[in-house]
Amino acid sequence: MHKTWGGRFQGDTDQRVEEFTESISFDRRLYAHDIAASMAHARMLAEVGLLTAEEAEAIVAALQTIRSEIETGQFAFRVELEDIHTHIERALIERLGDVGRKLHTGRSRNDQVATDMKLWTRDALDTIVGLVRDVQRALVEAAERHADLILPGYTHLQRAQPILASHYFLAYAEKLERDRTRLLDCRDRMDELPLGAAALAGTSLPIDRESVRKQLGFARIAANSLDASSDRDFLIEFVFALAMIGVHLSGWAEEWIVWSTVEFRFLDLPDAFCTGSSIMPHKKNPDVLELIRGKSARVVGDLHRLLVLVKGLPLAYNRDLQEDKQAVFDAFDTLAACLRMAASLIRAARFRPEALAERLEDGFLDATTLMEHLVLAGMPMRSAHEAVGKLVRKCEERGCRLTDLPPEEYDAIRPGLSPGVYHIVGVRNALRAFRSLGSTGPEQVAVQLRRWRERLDTDARM
């Protein structure tokens, strides 16, 4: 808390306080957004007569120079100047004197930092949306690559029904589509300009917030100055969307970790995405997937951190809000890295068709389809459920599959059933029987895949 702006204070700030209150170590990454907002503010001040055109031009030119110095590593950051806003304004004053001192007219660091964070978050949202789309492309590519591959589908981690691998990959594309639209909804809700709210009550100076809105590309002006200076809903919503993506990636990573084990042998992970053991020479550990699963916890933790940070804050700005940035930056950095790794790994990994085929008929994946065949033949659903359950029990006792049962076992359930039943049992027959919209039936999956390809092709043309 340097005394640059403190005529009310006497003496120097305790060095321990400077070290405790500094944020430049992490908020320096806002420099480009702070400078963009300051240039828009300077131009607006000239438009309303609070600066001359020459003064505004001098401020904008100096800010551009400062930005260049930061980008090239020539700018000196000092703990005693506390934050990125003070650093930039102090550098401006050192270059322009009293003209530099005029820049802060009609604004406060409260609405300044809220604007900077919105500008940064808007860019971060666009980055994440693009990365999500790339993972979706990788999933659709994998769906096309494994178009004819059949997987065992699971509930409770027990074999349930057969599914196409394409259906599996598109399931995650759908999850990520909800995430993507959540991000876009967040972007729309946060697209309001806080600058002009000043400390909390606005200003008596004749500023033009509409001018700044247009320059910075916001859709709307924040309607209430008291709310605008303290609002961090947009950060919490953003990090919530990131946490949801992290949860989805973590579930996918868990499946692939399990599927790559010797016990499952479904999946071959590329060596480039695995590591060895320091003591066991045979090991091939899925470290990237484990870290995606683990790093998702960091993003969830960042969300909790933000919620707890704001839960008891009164209106308007409170210094507690300095602590929002590290959580937001960490969530963004962590999730962006996970998405990049996920897209690369999905493109590089391959299933093991032979290993899958060896055990595909195990686990009675066709039992539910057989039950539904009995329903179509006129048997009440619960009766059909019980009948197939008894057949499964017989198979377990004999160590065989439903396809191995003799015709009399089926005819005992319903006379005349056996002639058509062998076109129903068996995993491939069961898979072909699916017909409901959105199901794993080949025709339905082809519809889903075509829709996804059209969606991605449209994006590529835009």
pLDDT in tens, 67-116: 999 999 999 999 999 999 999 999 999 999 999 999 999 999 999 999 99
Does residue 382 sit within a domain? yes
| Confidence check: pLDDT of 460 > 90 | no
CATH number assigned to the domain comprising residue 181: 1.20.200.10
Of 25, 277, 304, 423, the catalytic one is 277
Tell me: do 255 and 392 sit in the same domain: no
pLDDT of residue 77: 95
The full 3-state SS of 13-43, as one line of letters, equals CCHHHHHHHCCHHHHHHHHHHHHHHHHHHHH
Q: Rounded CA gap, 459 and 82, in Å?
A: 43
Does residue 114 sit within a domain? no
Does residue 212 sit within a domain? no
Tell me: do 135 and 200 sit in the same domain: yes
User: 32 near 68, Cβ under 8 Å?
Assistant: no
Q: Domain tally for the chain?
A: 3
Q: Which of 336, 357, 378 is the last residue of a domain?
A: 357
At 218 the three-state DSSP class reads coil
Report the predicted TM-score, pTM, of the whole model to 2 decimal places. Answer: 0.94
| Confidence check: pLDDT of 459 > 70 | yes
Tell me: do 347 and 416 sit in the same domain: no
pLDDT of residue 21: 81
Of 156, 204, 278, 436, the catalytic one is 156
Give the mean model confidence (pLDDT) for residues 207-221.
98
Tell me: do 371 and 445 sit in the same domain: yes
Q: Which of 73, 105, 137 is the last residue of a domain?
A: 105
Tell me: do 366 and 441 sit in the same domain: yes
C-alpha closest to that of 173 among 250, 238, 254, 252: 252
Give the mean model confidence (pLDDT) for residues 413-427.
92
Residues in CB range of 135: below 8 A, 6 or more apart: 176, 339, 342, 343, 346
Give the C-alpha distances (Å, rounded to integers) separating 19 from 25, 81, 178. 10, 10, 42
Confidence of residue 364 (pLDDT cuts 50, 70, 90): very high
Does residue 215 sit within a domain? no
pLDDT of residue 156: 96
At 200 the three-state DSSP class reads coil
| Confidence check: pLDDT of 24 > 50 | yes
| Confidence check: pLDDT of 2 > 60 | no
Does residue 113 sit within a domain? no
Tell me: do 85 and 197 sit in the same domain: no
pLDDT of residue 18: 82
| Confidence check: pLDDT of 342 > 70 | yes
CATH number assigned to the domain comprising residue 98: 1.10.275.10
Tell me: do 197 and 305 sit in the same domain: yes
Tell me: do 291 and 339 sit in the same domain: yes
More confident position, 16 or 214: 214
Concatenating the DSSP letter of every residue in 85-97 gives HHHHHHHHHHHHT
Tell me: do 100 and 130 sit in the same domain: no
The parent domain of residue 67 ranges over 3-105
Tell me: do 268 and 140 sit in the same domain: yes
Give the mean model confidence (pLDDT) for residues 197-215.
97
16-25, 151-160, 170-179, 422-431, range with the lowest pLDDT? 16-25
Work out the angle at residue 223's Cα, subtended by the Cα atoms of residues 221 and 229, and round it to the nearest 5 degrees: 90
pLDDT of residue 1: 42
Q: Which of 329, 357, 385 is the last residue of a domain?
A: 357
Does residue 434 sit within a domain? yes
Please indicate whether residue 156 is annotated as part of the active site. yes
Instruction: Provide, rounded to the nearest whole percent, the portion of the chain with pLDDT above 90.
Output: 92
Tell me: do 322 and 384 sit in the same domain: no
Please indicate whether residue 204 is annotated as part of the active site. no
